[in-house]
Amino acid sequence: MDISDDGPASAPEWQDADNNLCGVLHGNLDTSAVAERFVRAGWRSRSSSWDTYEVETDWCRADLDPVEGSDTLLSGVIDPGKLDALAVLLSPFGLSFGLELYDEQGSLRREITG
């Protein structure tokens, strides 16, 4: 199952915020399977197109977009203090990843690879 309304919705301050999160997930999972992993972790997930998903929890809202091969692009908005929490969440997914956090001016603030 890759669609779920059971998890918490993103907090109001993240609903209309500009994107500050970019990343790529590398591995042998298609985007649907990645969305399913977020659902198992208690996040909401909804299909936003044929093979694209939106996942969210109270501190993050992100789009999952497939790219050629088995990579998934991740972009959206995150509470800047929760970037480490996202990295911890992704670690057991069996994927390597790179995450980038940007400030309000669009400057790179922090990177994490896992």
The predicted-structure confidence for 27-41, as pLDDT tens digits, reads as follows 888 899 999 999 999
Is the confidence at residue 12, as pLDDT, over 60? yes
Rounded mean pLDDT of the chain?
87
Beta strands in 10-107 (DSSP E): 21-26, 44-47, 53-57, 60-66, 72-78, 96-102
Determine the pLDDT at residue 1: 44
Share of the chain above pLDDT 90, in %: 63
Residue with tokens 């198992």: 40
Alpha helices in 1-114 (DSSP H): 12-15, 31-40, 83-90
The per-residue pLDDT for range 46-69, each reduced to its tens digit, is 988 888 999 999 999 999 999 977
Q: Which of 67, 81, 78 is nearest to 29 (CA)?
A: 67
Instruction: Report yes or no: 75 and 23 within 8 Å, Cβ to Cβ.
Output: yes
Determine the pLDDT at residue 19: 76
Is the confidence at residue 76, as pLDDT, over 60? yes
Query: 36: left (phi > 0), else alpha (psi -120 to 50), else beta?
Result: alpha
Determine the pLDDT at residue 9: 65
